[in-house]
Amino acid sequence: MTMPALDVSGLTKTFSGFPAVRDVSFSVPAGSITGFLGPNGAGKTTTLRMALGIIRPDAGSAKLFGQPPTLRALDRVGFLPEERGVYRKMTAEQVIALFARLKGVPAAEARRRAAAALERFGLAASAGKKVKELSKGMAQKVQIIAAIIHEPDFIILDEPFSGLDPVNQAMLEDVILEQAAAGRTILFSTHVMAQAERICDRIVLMARGQKIFDGKVDEALAVVPRLVTIGVDSDDDISALLSRFGEVTRLEKDVDGVTLWQVALAAGIDPQHVLRACVEAGVRLTRFEPVRPHLHDAFVRLVSASDPLQPVEGQ
C-alpha cells in the first residue's frame, strides 16, 4: 500500500484554555485531492500548522511521507498559507527563486524555473517588476507559483480561493487539477463547497476543533437525503401517495398556480419509484424534478449535527 502523504493521529492543541483542535486523526492518500473543510474557527489552520511542524501539538503526531515534519520532509511540501504575502520590495522573479532555493533548488535552476513559471502564468513581462508594482491578481499568482516552484510531491493550500477574483479562482482550480494530474497529492482547506465538490476526491470535515467526517465526496453526499420536487395541476392532496417514499412537504404554489410538493427520499428510494407511483395513480404532473444533493447541504447537515465543544477543565 502506498505511503500516505500526510497522516495525523490524535492531534490536540489548546490555546489559553480553549481547545482549538481535539483528537483529530486522518490521512491524505498519495495522489488524492483532499478537501479540508469546515466553518471559520473549526481548527483547520491550526491542524495544518501542526501537520507542517510550524507549531507543536499538545498531543498526537503528524507524519509527512511517513516521517515527522522535518525540514527534509518539508522540502517535498508546497504550502500556501491562508494569510499570505511576499516580499513587496523584491521582484517577482527574485521572490519565486528565493522560495525555490529555500526548498533546496540550486540557484541557477531556481532562476530558470522562476522564469519558466512566470512565462506559463502570463507574467513574463512582469518578471523584473517589484511585487509592490504588480496588481493584486498578479501578486497572488506569484504567491501560488512560489508555493509550487520546487515541484513538491504534496501541496497544502490553506483557503487558497479566499480573496481571489473569479478569474484567478478558475486559474487556481486549473492549477490544482493540473498538479494532481501530474501525480501530486493536494490537500486544501476551504469553506467554498462548490469548488471542493468539483475538485476533491475526498473530504475531511472539521467543526469546533473536531473531525466530523472523513471519506469520499459521494459518501458525504449520501448523508443528505435526495429531494424530488413535484408540480401538480390540481389542489388534490397527494401526501398519502408520496409519504411511502419519504418525508413530504407541501410548498407554496408557483407563479403559474401549480401546487408544489417536495419529497425528501428515504434511503434506498430512487426518484423513478416516485414517478412511477404518480403515473400509476393518474396524478397530472406538470413538473417532476429530482434535486441532486450538494456538498454544501452535507456540510451544513454534518456541522449542525456535531456537538459544541466546552473549554478544557483546568487550563
Partner 1 sequence: MRAIYLIARREYLSYVATWGFWLSLASVPLFMLIGASIPALVQSAQPVRHYVIIDETNTGLDDVIQASIERERREQTRAALEAAAAVSADAATRERALAAFDADPLGLDGLDDALEILGMQGSADMIAAGTGRLIRLDAPARTLEGLRPYLLGERQVATPDGPRSLFAAVFISQEAGSDLPLINYYSTNVTEQSLSGAARRALRDHVREQALAERGLDPAEIRELSSLEPEIRNFNPATVDDSEVGAADWAPFIVAIVLAIMLWTAIFSVANMLLTSLIEEKGGKIIELLLSTVRVRDLLVGKLLGVAAVSFTLFAVWGLIGTTVMLLAGTFLQGIDPELAGLIGEAVQPGLFLAALGYFMVGYLMYGAIFLALGSLCETLHDAQTLMSPLILVLMLPLMILVFAMRSIDSVAVQIVSWVPIWTPFIMIARLPSDPPLWEIAGTTAVMLLTLFLVLWGAASVFQQGALGHANADSVKRIFSRKKPVRDEE
Smallest distance, Å, CB 97 to partner 1? 10
Region of 26 please: left (phi>0), alpha (psi -120 to 50) or beta.
Answer: beta
Helix axes 136-148, 166-181, angle to 10 degrees: 10
Give the nearest distance from C-beta 273 to partner 1 in angstroms: 45
Closer residue to partner 1, CB minimum distance, 44 or 63: 44
Question: Any contact of residue 91 with partner 1 (CB under 8 A)?
Answer: no
- 59 vs 71, beta carbon nearer partner 1: 71
- Terminal C-alpha separation, the chain: 41
Of 147-166, binders to partner 1 (CB under 8 A) are 147
Least distance in angstroms from the C-beta of 250 to partner 1? 42
Provide, rounded to whole angstroms, the least separation between the CB of residue 218 and partner 1: 29
Could you tell me the smallest distance in angstroms from the CB atom of residue 146 to partner 1?
8
288 close to 278: Cβ distance less than 8 angstroms: yes
161 or 245: whose CB is closer to partner 1? 161
- Position 177 contacts partner 1 (CB under 8 A): no
Which stretch, 79-87, 214-222, 274-282, 301-309, contacts partner 1 (CB under 8 A)?
Answer: 79-87
Residue 206 CB, shortest distance to partner 1, in Å, is 10
Q: Is 72 in the site for partner 1 (CB under 8 A)?
A: no
Query: What is the residue whose three cell numbers read 407563479?
Result: 255
Residues 6+ apart with CB under 8 A from 179: 148, 155, 186
Candidate segments 140-148, 190-198, 226-234, 294-302, binder of partner 1 by CB under 8 A: 140-148
Q: Round to whole Å and give the CA distance between 52 and 69.
A: 6
Torsion sign across C-alpha atoms 273, 274, 275, 281 = positive
Q: Could you tell me the three cell numbers for 279? A: 403515473
Tell which phi-psi region holds residue 153, choosing left (phi > 0), alpha (psi between -120 and 50) or beta: alpha
Q: Are 130 and 90 in contact (CB under 8 A)?
A: yes
CB of 154 to partner 1, least distance (A): 12
**Contact between 2 and partner 1 per CB under 8 A:** no
* Positive/negative CA dihedral, 187, 191, 192, 196: positive
Q: Does 252 bind partner 1 (CB under 8 A)?
A: no
**For partner 1, which residue of 8, 64, 86, 232 counts as binding (CB under 8 A)?**
86
Identified binder of partner 1 from the candidate list 67, 68, 88, 284, rule CB under 8 A = 88
Task: List, in order, residues 6 or more apart from 58 with CB less than 8 Å away.
Answer: 12, 13, 14
Site size toward partner 1, by CB under 8 A: 39
Q: Pattern 35-64, binding to partner 1, x per CB under 8 A?
A: -----xxxxxxx--x--x-xx---------
Task: Using CB under 8 A, pick the residue from 26, 65, 79, 245 that binds partner 1.
Answer: 79
Strand partners, 59: 12
C-alpha closest to that of 229 among 199, 260, 269: 260
- Rg of the chain over all Cα atoms, to the nearest angstrom: 24
Confirm if 249 and 259 have CB atoms less than 8 A apart.
no
Shortest distance, position 124 Cβ to partner 1, whole Å:
23
Binding mask 19-38 for partner 1 (x = CB under 8 A): -x------------------
Residues written for the chain = 315
The cell numbers describing 158, all together, are 490553506
- Residues in contact with partner 1 by CB under 8 A are 15-18, 20, 40-46, 49, 52, 54-55, 71, 74, 77, 79-81, 83-90, 98-99, 101-104, 143, 146-147
